[in-house]
Amino acid sequence: MAAPEISTAAVPTLYTNNALRNAFGGVLAFFILLLIGVMAFSIRLFSVIKYESVIHEFDPYFNYRVTQFLAKNGIYEFWNWFDDRTWYPLGRVIGGTVYPGLTLTAGTIWWFLNSLNIPLSVETVCVFTAPIFSAFASWATYLLTKEVKGTGAGLTAAALLAMVPSYISRSVAGSYDNEAVAIFALIFTFYLYIKTLNTGSLFYATLNSIAYFYMVCSWGGYTFIINLIPMHVLLCIVTGRFSSRLYIAYAPLVVLGTLLAALVPVVGFNAVMTSEHFASFLVFIILHVVAFVYYIKGTLTPKMFKVAVTLVVSVGLAVCCAVIAVLIALVASSPTKGWSGRSLSLLDPTYASKYIPIIASVSEHQPPTWPSYFMDINVLAFLVPAGIIACFSPLSDASSFVVLYIAASVYFSGVMVRLMLVFAPAACITSGIALSQAFDVFTQSIKFQLPGISSNKEVDAAETSSATAEAQNDAVKTEKSEETSKNRPSKKSKKKEKEEKPSTKAKAEKKRLLALPLDSSVISLLLLILLGAFYVVHCVWAAAEAYSAPSIVLTSRSHDGLHVFDDFREAYAWLRHNTDVDDKVASWWDYGYQTTAMANRTVIVDNNTWNNTHIATVGTAMSSPEKAAWEIFHSLDVKYVLVVFGGLVGYPSDDINKFLWMVRIGGGVFPHIKEPDYLRDGQYRIDSQATPTMLNCLMYKLCYYRFVETDGKGFDRVRQTEIGKKYFKLTHFEEVFTTHHWMVRIYKLKPPKNRIRGKTKKSKSKTSSTSSRAKISGTGKKNPWH
Amino acid sequence: MEAPIRAAQFLGFTVFFLLFCVCRSSPLHNLLISNAERRIDLTSHIVKVYLTLKVENAGSTPTSEILLAFPPTQVDHLATVEVLVTKGKRKKTTLVRLDVKPTELPDAPNGTKYFTIYLANPLNSGESMTLEVLYLFTHSLEPFPAEIGQSESQLVYYRDSALILSPYHIKQQATFVKTPSTKVESFTRVEPTNRAGTEMKYGPYEDRPPYSFSPILIHFENNSPFPVVEELVREVEISHWGNLQVTEQYTLVHGGARHKGVFSRVEYQSRPTLSGTSSLRYLLARLPPRVHSVYYRDEIGNISSSHLRTDSRKSELEIEPRYPLFGGWKTTFVIGYGLPLQDFLFESSDDRRYLNFTFGCPLLETVVDKLTVKVVLPEGSKDPSAVVAFPVEQHLETKYSYLDVVGRTVVVMEKKNLVPSHNSHFQVHYTFKPIFMLAEPLMLASAFFLFFVACVAYLHIDLSIRK
């Protein structure tokens, strides 16, 4: 959008000059934004260039599969999709348990392109969705920051966000996850909130609810919005900034937003039933009370008002108490006190590791370390405080929001690595403000002290021109401070208001600017540029080296060139083509999504960890001795067992390293699995010192079966040790496939033997009469034929 | 064990044949074959038979048709029949290919199938000529045992007749069978039979009446992998901007003895000569020269194990499947490449253009059960017609690609049971006006133009209600 035109009559000589300058500025800003978009898109393509156009990691494979289903079967089938290829034998209602925003977005893009006869595959669209939306996100950042501190800060913030490593890590091409579109939705919702707050326009308030709806569709992180905005509203009320604009910005959002959010199947009545949303309703009530108080204040005399206040406060308090009591009663009646596990672990960082091993076992749910801050936001960490200070001078509704946003997101990012992603945009916005303000100050002081301009006549001209430039920057600010009550500016009615401002403002500016000496401002400017350059270098490095590995194909550089480890896909391709289409494959839940998407086989558990007992059953099987494991798997109708083993090539995130989590999760439900049995003096080891339980469990056996024959010693390159038990045979499983680098090994359950059938029955009834009986029958997963 | 029983059965069969032939009155008896030599090559999984026939016209009328006979079990697996005749004298001999067509005869004994060779010049009475016949069988080696473990070698049966099945009297004949190794488990003897090294000789047999048949069964080791492409879809897309894009979708299966039981990687890696000898490790595709942008992938992404070697004559693409294929294992993959258009597209005299491209599968030594070739002509092409050297099923389709409005005409050709010798060229003729090349750029340009006009118009209209 072009900058607002400057009024004409006052300075006729400067008119053409200024108009040109502003038009040029608008076009320049537009092109800068375009380039920022292109950069945001292209910096995320390293993964395609260095590897290939492929879906990354684990969750994206599920989203990809859902999108494929959507593209093939249409939207109605999608809502009713019951997926029987996962969580066997329970299945999963995909349509009702998935955040559909990402899938619908990619599906719509695909449908649109195909209706233009552009034959892109669903995969291609999915791969490039995240980069496209990060370009959108940087534009949204521009809009948001522009609302807060003007165009310059907006452009800087957009440029910073386009390449912030934290966001890149979740949105490289191929990283087809909810966060890819959710960050855009988050920033855009905030922008519309601020825009509404600045203009008081109901139009923007409605848009805001729709943007909020899109965010709810996209990501569970929408609760951040629905808690942050009420906090800001409360802050405004407390600091005496209540206005009709605030009311317009908030009330429609709560009403419309909640109604819309309840339309999303996965949220449904949670939008009014869980505690994550209660803060917004509470603030909604408070807002009305305050609005009422202001209204009364306006109509009554001060004396009458005092009387009314006491009346209203007492009645209001009573009503509030009643409502709160009802709410608390509602909340208390639900089992988790209305809070979901993930949210609780947000409030109490130690909650997850204490009570829910399945949440704690995910690395992205751990608290981050200090280096990860430097890695993920780099120099922004230093600029953020400066930005916060800049937000305070002067403090407006919008800038107070930014301060609140950054404070909240710093806390949340400290709890969970994953929420760095929410922190990154806030850091970019504040740093953008800081950088742009610093540049403003330095360039202005240089401009004033350059000898060429400092002669008397030109000072005036320079002053006015800079002032008008300033005015242009501040246009939004002035608008919001002055015409807010009138609002709804049509494009042409904007012009009048800006005339008074420049002259008075220019003098104040001049005084402040003259304080900085020339040389120091030049040096600081250079240093700032250096800082920016450092940031760019770091971001490009992070995008190219750290965050673009797709993790399903690994590479390593050695003296004889690049070596590719494509074992995962080798195994999945084998499963896909050489097993029966209805065979069930058991593996640890990490590989569930990939197995269903790439191998198209039914899995027992997957990355959607909704049923802890089911996961615990698989964990128990993996940590049991062979025979017991066979019985568990057989009762689940499993045909193949897949394990990931990195010992031959030194791939560290394999199943042996994850094994303790299987023990913990299994032991949490089936108490006969005890973690100490697998540890020797508190240490986890697989060498000859390991405990017999460890050396006899299924996971150990499946990983190290015939491993000793590779080098004669059985040296595990991940654990850097020789394995404890080298020669053993499998009696209930047989190896059917091992990939080239041994990273994936697939075993088949041997069929039950006819002759000893009576015997197995007996032993089974014996085991079930012991400790595990209650659990297995309680979960209802026992083979019904026994 | 089984062979003698079978031999007895077939003996009965033979007797029946002979009886049948005696009481049969045929117009064909005026031809006779004075000498026949047959060489059966069993080294790969495609059985190649070279038959040299010396045909004599003993009758009184000249004839221009000669019949070849095949048992019904073989004709189902018959991929191709070629007949060559030498022309010229002494040094200046050239081979001329003769027309061969399947023929139905009303009174064929026991479902015998025939092919008719049409001679260019009729064979006069008393004259004789030499015919070189080459025919290939697919799926004719039956693995026995049908399932083998990883370290076992693959043994197969081959069934044929020691005597050449022919509607004519054969004065003298001999059959040579070449096996891939000296390891032959068993073979039927029809005296005189000799075996030396990798070659077996049946015959010479003299003065055999028409329709003589003497079944033989050879059980031998064939450790070569049996790459069978169950289905291949080749899409050739012509772009008049200078590129020919070929996309080939394969469903590959190892057609040998099925793999049984475990697959142990440690054995496969440490003893490659003993373990999995018949496994399919890599395939070689011979692509045209000047090939570019080659890719090799499947539905879950790129397959990194491939090598491309190019020189001015040809390009060779060596591809490894994601995993070694054992008997019965399947895989699917896609190969795609671009080619410069001027090497394959020509203008014919009548102002039409034609594409000249190879028909079959570029993989070497591979059987294709079903091949579909789709030639996607540029949008706006008219009157397509295809010329193929052998009979194929044809029909037309329409495909929509980048920004198409009316769609592109696709010439679809289908053929079953192909062998590498089907890699001959085919032509697709069509008419095309170069102006159609500009349709899509113009469409895009006008769309953008309209968009910008709309933008300009919007910026100049004040849509606000309140002034």
Domains in chain A and their CATH numbers? 563-749 (3.40.50.12610)
CB A261 within 8 A of CB A213: yes
Cβ neighbours around A23 below 10 Å, total:
13
In order, the DSSP letters of B67-91 are EEEE-HHHHTTEEEEEEEEEESSGG
Check CB contact of B460 with chain A, cutoff 8 Å.
Answer: no
Among B262, B331, B466, whose Cβ lies nearest the Cβ of A735? B262
Interface of B with A in 190-219 (CB under 8 A): none
The model's pLDDT over B319-372, given as tens digits with 9 standing for 90+, comes to 989 888 888 899 999 999 999 998 899 988 888 889 999 988 888 888 999 999
In the three-class reduction of DSSP (H, G, I as helix; E, B as strand; rest coil), residue A180 is classed as helix
Provide φ and ψ at B57, rounded to 5°.
Answer: -95, 105
Check CB contact of B402 with chain A, cutoff 8 Å.
Answer: yes
Output the six-digit token pair for A669.
């439900």
The CA distance from A554 to A565, in Å, is 5
CB contact under 8 A, A578 and B329: yes
* Residues in B touching A738 (Cβ below 8 Å): 263-266
Question: Which amino acid is present at A17?
Answer: N
- Residue A146 scores a pLDDT above 70: yes
Q: Please, which pLDDT band fits residue A527 given cuts at 50, 70 and 90?
A: very high
Question: Which amino acid is present at A274?
Answer: T
- In the block, residue with structure tokens 């996962």: A86
* Residues in A touching B400 (Cβ below 8 Å): 117, 119
3-state secondary structure A180-197: HHHHHHHHHHHHHHHHHH
- CA A281 distance to own-chain centroid: 25
- CA A108 distance to own-chain centroid: 22
CB contact under 8 A, B304 and A566: yes
Q: Tell me how close the Cα of A367 comes to any Cα of chain B, in angstroms.
A: 34
Burial class (CB in 10 A: 0-12, 13-18, 19+), A138: buried
Smallest CA-to-CA distance from B236 within B255, B249, B224 is with B249
Q: Give bridge partners of residue B434 from the DSSP assignment.
A: none
Check CB contact of B464 with chain A, cutoff 8 Å.
Answer: yes
CB contact under 8 A, B322 and A569: yes
**pLDDT tens track, chain B, 467 positions:** 455 555 555 555 554 554 444 444 445 567 888 899 999 999 888 899 999 988 888 888 888 888 888 888 888 888 888 888 887 666 677 788 888 888 888 877 788 888 888 888 888 888 888 889 998 998 888 988 888 888 888 899 999 888 888 888 888 999 999 998 888 888 888 888 888 888 889 878 888 888 888 889 999 988 888 889 999 999 999 998 889 999 999 999 988 888 887 888 888 888 777 777 788 888 898 888 889 899 998 888 888 888 888 888 888 999 989 888 888 899 999 999 999 998 899 988 888 889 999 988 888 888 999 999 999 999 888 889 998 888 889 999 998 888 888 889 999 999 988 888 888 899 999 998 888 888 889 999 999 999 999 999 988 887 777 65
Smallest CA-to-CA distance from B135 within B190, B53, B209, B200 is with B53
pLDDT of B105: 82
* Residues in A touching B464 (Cβ below 8 Å): 488, 490-493
CB contact under 8 A, A578 and B400: no
- Element holding B284 (H helix, E strand): strand B283-287
* Residues in B touching A552 (Cβ below 8 Å): 301
The CA distance from A63 to A178, in Å, is 8
Output the six-digit token pair for A41.
């898109």
The model's pLDDT over A530-579, given as tens digits with 9 standing for 90+, comes to 999 999 999 999 988 888 888 888 888 777 778 888 889 999 999 999 89
Among A119, A564, A706, whose Cβ lies nearest the Cβ of B401? A119
* Residues in B touching A57 (Cβ below 8 Å): none
Output the six-digit token pair for A338.
């209305």
Size of interface A-B (CB pairs under 8 A): 88
Cβ neighbours around A501 below 10 Å, total:
19
* Residues in B touching A490 (Cβ below 8 Å): 462, 464, 466-467
pLDDT of A25: 86
Smallest CA-to-CA distance from B50 within B318, B389, B446, B421 is with B421
Q: How far apart are the first and last CA of chain B?
A: 106
The CA distance from B96 to B100, in Å, is 13
pTM: 0.84
Sequence-ordered list of residues with C-beta below 8 angstroms from that of A214, at least 6 positions apart, any chain: A101, A185, A188, A189
Among B251, B258, B279, B304, the strongest candidate for a mutation testing the A interface, having the largest count of A CBs within 10 A, is B304
Mean pLDDT of A27-44: 93
Listed by start position, the domains of chain B span 31-221, 227-440
* Residues in A touching B331 (Cβ below 8 Å): 573, 577
* Residues in A touching B266 (Cβ below 8 Å): 706, 709-710, 738
Q: Give bridge partners of residue B157 from the DSSP assignment.
A: B142, B219
- Residue A495 scores a pLDDT above 50: no
CB contact under 8 A, B264 and A742: no
Question: Which amino acid is present at B284?
Answer: L
Q: Tell me how close the Cα of B231 comes to any Cα of chain A, in angstroms.
A: 14
CB contact under 8 A, B323 and A739: yes
The CA distance from A576 to B322, in Å, is 12
Smallest CA-to-CA distance from A180 within A47, A361, A343 is with A47
Q: Please, which pLDDT band fits residue A334 given cuts at 50, 70 and 90?
A: low
* Residues in B touching A119 (Cβ below 8 Å): 400-402
The CA distance from B388 to B358, in Å, is 10
Smallest CA-to-CA distance from B326 within B371, B262, B369, B271 is with B262
The CA distance from B199 to B275, in Å, is 27
* Residues in B touching A493 (Cβ below 8 Å): 464, 466-467
- Residue A155 scores a pLDDT above 90: yes
Among B261, B305, B331, whose Cβ lies nearest the Cβ of A573? B331
CB A415 within 8 A of CB A423: no
Among B266, B330, B331, whose Cβ lies nearest the Cβ of A709? B266
The CA distance from A462 to A454, in Å, is 9
CB B379 within 8 A of CB B436: yes
* Residues in A touching B444 (Cβ below 8 Å): none
Among B301, B305, B464, whose Cβ lies nearest the Cβ of A54? B301
CA atoms within 13 A on the CB side of A701: 24
Smallest CA-to-CA distance from B358 within B428, B311, B409, B293 is with B428
Q: Tell me how close the Cα of B54 comes to any Cα of chain A, in angstroms.
A: 50
What length is written for chain B? 467
Mean pLDDT of A682-694: 85
Which residues of A fall below an 8 Å CB-CB distance to B? 52, 54, 116-119, 488, 490-493, 552-553, 564, 566, 569-570, 572-574, 576-578, 598, 706, 709-710, 734-740, 742
Percent of chain A with pLDDT over 70: 82
pLDDT of B334: 93
Helices (H), A488-517: 501-513
3-state secondary structure B299-353: CCEECCCEEEEECCCCEEEEECCCCCECCCCEEEEEEEEEEEHHHCEEECCCCCE
Q: Give bridge partners of residue B302 from the DSSP assignment.
A: B297
Q: Tell me how close the Cα of A188 comes to any Cα of chain B, in angstroms.
A: 23
Q: How far apart are the first and last CA of chain A?
A: 72
Q: Give bridge partners of residue B397 from the DSSP assignment.
A: B410
Q: Which residue is closest to B254 within chain A, CA to CA?
A: A578
Among B270, B298, B464, whose Cβ lies nearest the Cβ of A573? B298
CB A675 within 8 A of CB A660: yes
DSSP state at residue A181? H
- Element holding B38 (H helix, E strand): strand B31-41
CB contact under 8 A, B331 and A598: no
Among B263, B323, B402, whose Cβ lies nearest the Cβ of A117? B402
CATH of domain B227-440: 2.60.40.1730
Q: Tell me how close the Cα of A217 comes to any Cα of chain B, in angstroms.
A: 28
Output the six-digit token pair for A310.
């006491």
CB contact under 8 A, A553 and B301: yes
The model's pLDDT over A592-613, given as tens digits with 9 standing for 90+, comes to 899 999 988 999 998 887 888 8
* Residues in B touching A735 (Cβ below 8 Å): 262-265
The model's pLDDT over A735-764, given as tens digits with 9 standing for 90+, comes to 999 998 889 999 999 888 766 555 554 444
Q: Do domains B31-221 and B227-440 have the same CATH topology?
A: yes
Check CB contact of B263 with chain A, cutoff 8 Å.
Answer: yes
CB contact under 8 A, B304 and A116: no
Among B262, B322, B467, whose Cβ lies nearest the Cβ of A573? B322
The CA distance from A154 to A148, in Å, is 8
Q: How many helices (H) and strands (E) does chain B have?
A: 4, 31
Smallest CA-to-CA distance from B321 within B289, B360, B366 is with B366
Among B266, B301, B403, whose Cβ lies nearest the Cβ of A569? B301
- In the block, residue with structure tokens 């025919």: B135
CB B375 within 8 A of CB B426: no
The CA distance from A744 to A645, in Å, is 6
* Residues in B touching A709 (Cβ below 8 Å): 266, 270
CB A252 within 8 A of CB A200: no
Check CB contact of B330 with chain A, cutoff 8 Å.
Answer: yes
In the three-class reduction of DSSP (H, G, I as helix; E, B as strand; rest coil), residue B466 is classed as coil
- CA A784 distance to own-chain centroid: 42
Burial class (CB in 10 A: 0-12, 13-18, 19+), A369: exposed
Among B262, B263, B322, whose Cβ lies nearest the Cβ of A570? B322
Q: Tell me how close the Cα of B441 comes to any Cα of chain A, in angstroms.
A: 14
* Residues in A touching B405 (Cβ below 8 Å): 117
Beta strand B128-137 with B141-143: parallel, antiparallel or unpaired?
unpaired
Among B264, B266, B464, whose Cβ lies nearest the Cβ of A490? B464
Burial class (CB in 10 A: 0-12, 13-18, 19+), A728: middle
CATH of domain B31-221: 2.60.40.1730
